[in-house]
A and B are shown apart, each in its own frame.
Chain A
């Protein structure tokens, strides 16, 4: 089975721009979560998607938005980028109803200059 894949692996954007990050879930998984990890910190929960709808959100402003597609892949969109948005963005997938943890991708390293 394939794991969680994220693209791109690295990205540099200018303050004020918009960015879209992509995630392909592990085969058989139907739930996707996104996390932001600043340097030296643990990952912070952004939001989760199930059945193409957001069903949980962390303490992030509305300029962070997402989508989940019928094939369970997902996108994270960030508008009006700020310097503090520079971080590793992680996608994680799981199958609803199981407790055997989430599978994480290797992340997208976003640098805002």
Chain B
């Protein structure tokens, strides 16, 4: 699976959009981009995933660049409860989706 690079930490004001970048320059054509987050003392939580089109669900939006070498997770109106570690993971389609390779992730701190 391709390696991902994320900034170690980011801050965001409550109510503003949080934009979390992820670099996956070695991604191959059949690899998906997944985002998980982990709130303190809890297990990781699935947020969203995509292949090449932008995706949106009730939690977030995922913007994938046309060359697929990077992506951005957008939390449109961040709340204090969004403070967590956010992980960007690349997974090959058709393989075991259970073998997730977590990096260090981005610590997002949402402040009042």
Interfacial residues, chain A to chain B (CB-CB below 8 A): 4, 31-33, 35, 41-45, 48, 55-56, 58, 90, 92, 94, 98-107
Contacts and interface: CB of A to CB of B under 8 A. Distances in A.
A58 B105 CA distance: 20
B98 A48 contact: yes
A4 B43 contact: yes
B98 A102 contact: yes
Given A42-B103, A42-B104, A43-B102, A48 B96 contact: yes
Contact of A42 (B93, B97, B99, B102): B102
Contacts of B36: 101
Given A44-B102, A48-B98, A56-B99, A107 B93 contact: no
Contacts of A44: 102
Q: How large is the interface on B (under 10, 10 to 19, 20 to 34, 35 or more residues)?
A: 20 to 34
B6 to A, nearest CB: 11
B46 to A, nearest CB: 3
A102 B46 contact: yes
A33 B69 CA distance: 28
A52 B105 CA distance: 32
A100 B46 contact: yes
Contacts of B65: none
A48 B99 contact: yes
Contact of A101 (B46, B85, B101, B102): B46
